Amino acid sequence: MNDRLNRVHASRSAAVKAGLDHPVIDTDVHVNDYAPVLEDYVAQYGGNKLVDALRKALGGRFVTRNGGGKDWYQQTPEERQFHRTLRAPWWARVTRNTYDLATYTLPALLYERLGEQGSDYSILFPNDVLSPAAAGSEYRQPLHRAINHFHADQYRPYADRLTPVAGIPLHTPQEGIEELEFAVKTLGLKVINIAGGVRRPIRAIVEKYPAAEHPEIARQVGYIDFYGIDSEHDYDPFWAKVVELGVPVTTHYGSQGWTGRQSISNYMNNHIGHFADGSQAFAKALFFGGVTRRFPGLRVGLLEGGADWGAHVYTHLVDRWEKRNRHALRNYDPAEADVELLASLFERYGADFLKGRTLDKSKLLRDSLGISALPHSREPNESEIDDFALAGIEKVEDIRDRWVDNFYFGSEADDRTVAAAFNDRVNPLGTKINAIWSSDVGHWDVPEFTEPLAETWDLVQQGVISAADFKAFVFGNPYRFYTEANPRFFEGTEVGRKLGLKGGK
């Protein structure tokens, strides 16, 4: 007991927490699974065959699509060049700080140490929660179900301060609905984590080069379905079920391996900014596909990418809409050009161009704009003109309502760029972006479990953010994220107790 109290008193974050008049909610704690117990659960759902599928899925993370069947470390430098094998993440978890390693693996120890971290309530993202997505279709759902069941049982005794997310597969809307209902109704889990996209084959290529005959092509060629726009599936039933059940959606969706993130030797080259890029693609698909318009109650937390990208995309959406809404587009419609005026100006100022040539008015517009600026076969119809039509944007305020209200952006404790989220002098309509505190403890960027809250308070002392922004970051915004999806989210928790909520423990 004395050792524990000494650690709490010695923590910088505990000292910061002692001076606050509000709870602290951590939206991103990564925990490890103790494999022997996890595999017991998996075996109950599918025997040794399912356990083998899990092990293969976990190992498959580091065998890239173009690795020739070997992982990066099994290949020679020449093989890596030949296959262009991506350098995958490595040494990504805490090890030297052995006390912290145990903390991320043992629920009782994590619960005991929250005082050192300065957190009242933490959302847990087990590192293996999305591993089943790498498994084949016959294993994907039972693996998700087994892993979610394991996590629900492991953390149920600590529910007043800890809750694990449920991993939900979304290769089809139906499988997502089935696992969502099991996770929420049967297991009692209240937050979900999804991949921000699903890689799919391009049907035209598959028909010409069947995967069974040309596996090397199947591994290389495909596209990513981000659910919201241009999908071959209708995901609205899934989003409707999410809203009906009152579940906040989170994602740690990255873009390593995409164009510009394909180094075969350097993990950091592939890593920096990849969560922001991946989540941006997902969020824009929901926005432009009209998902946030049709489901204003949907709340999505986009983690590990920081909040500054949420601010700059919001700004760029406004900028683009002002220049390319369906009315402003007439500024660029070739039919709006006055060909007679254009011809007269050429005659007056273009003598050098016309020397030895006959002015052909029928081709003048094409020749002035360039062939590529004009449609080759037909004029676009009305449904093809307005890129903001599905989102239902009629005024700038609609962009704010369908971007800012629905999305929350996870920023890590020492991320100075979070200042962009709170910069209401720059963000359109004087808006602050919903940055939510996400410590990311358990991963390599947080070598010390007890430091994140203090590191965020350092930003206040350095003048990066204000004390009011700090409160919004570590409490106000995450509290709204969860309770706007589910008003009873914090009943029976430490946060509920401190706020005097009905049912607060």
427-450 confidence digits (pLDDT tens): 999 999 999 999 999 888 889 999
pLDDT along the chain (505 residues), means of 10: 58 96 96 95 95 83 57 89 86 89 96 96 90 79 95 98 96 96 98 94 88 79 93 97 98 88 88 89 97 98 95 96 94 90 93 88 86 68 87 97 97 95 96 96 90 97 97 98 98 96 68
The length of the chain is: 505
Contact 480, 4 (CB under 8 A): no
- Rounded Cα distance between 430 and 396, Å, is 12
435 C-beta neighbours (distance < 10 Å), count: 29
Contact 117, 24 (CB under 8 A): no
Question: 263: closest CA among 91, 90, 88?
Answer: 88
Q: Which domain holds residue 292?
A: 2-195+223-323+391-499
In a domain, 349, yes or no: no
| Both structure tokens of 224 | 């990513």
H helical segments located in 393-466: 396-399, 452-461
Question: 284: closest CA among 263, 264, 300, 270?
Answer: 300
- Rounded Cα distance between 194 and 187, Å, is 17
| pLDDT, position 62 | 47
In a domain, 430, yes or no: yes
- Rounded Cα distance between 147 and 143, Å, is 6
140-177 confidence digits (pLDDT tens): 999 999 999 999 999 999 999 999 999 999 999 999 99
The helix/strand/coil state of 112 is helix
Domain count, the chain: 1
The helix/strand/coil state of 302 is strand
- pTM, entire model: 0.92
- Rounded Cα distance between 389 and 380, Å, is 15
In a domain, 371, yes or no: no
Following CA atoms 270, 274, 278, 279 in sequence, which dihedral angle do they give, to the nearest 10 degrees? 170
Contact 294, 286 (CB under 8 A): no
User: Under 8 Å CB-to-CB from 226, ≥6 apart: which residues?
Assistant: 196, 197, 281, 282, 284, 285, 286
Contact 428, 396 (CB under 8 A): yes
| Both structure tokens of 475 | 């409490």
Q: What are phi and psi of 88, to 5 degrees?
A: -85, 170
Sole residue written with tokens 């965020």: 456
| pLDDT, position 432 | 97
402-423 confidence digits (pLDDT tens): 999 999 999 999 999 999 999 9
In a domain, 308, yes or no: yes
- Rounded Cα distance between 336 and 202, Å, is 38
User: Under 8 Å CB-to-CB from 500, ≥6 apart: which residues?
Assistant: none
| Both structure tokens of 337 | 């050009």
User: Under 8 Å CB-to-CB from 454, ≥6 apart: which residues?
Assistant: 11, 12, 13, 15, 16, 118
| Both structure tokens of 459 | 């930003």
In a domain, 362, yes or no: no
Sole residue written with tokens 């590191």: 455
In the Cβ-directed half-sphere of 489, how many Cα atoms lie within 13 Å? 23
- Rounded Cα distance between 176 and 22, Å, is 36
307-323 confidence digits (pLDDT tens): 999 999 999 999 999 99
- Rounded Cα distance between 191 and 168, Å, is 10
Question: 194: closest CA among 167, 176, 174?
Answer: 167
Sole residue written with tokens 């009242």: 120
| pLDDT, position 103 | 96
CATH code for the domain in which residue 40 is found: 3.20.20.140
In a domain, 27, yes or no: yes
In a domain, 217, yes or no: no
| pLDDT, position 218 | 76
Contact 161, 120 (CB under 8 A): yes
In a domain, 65, yes or no: yes
Q: What are phi and psi of 407, to 5 degrees?
A: -110, 140
6 residue type, one letter: N
Cα distances from 229 to residues 89, 242, 290, in angstroms, run 30, 18, 8
| Both structure tokens of 476 | 């106000």
- Tell me the CA end-to-end span of the chain in Å, nearest whole number: 23
Beta bridge partners, 409, equal: 302, 435
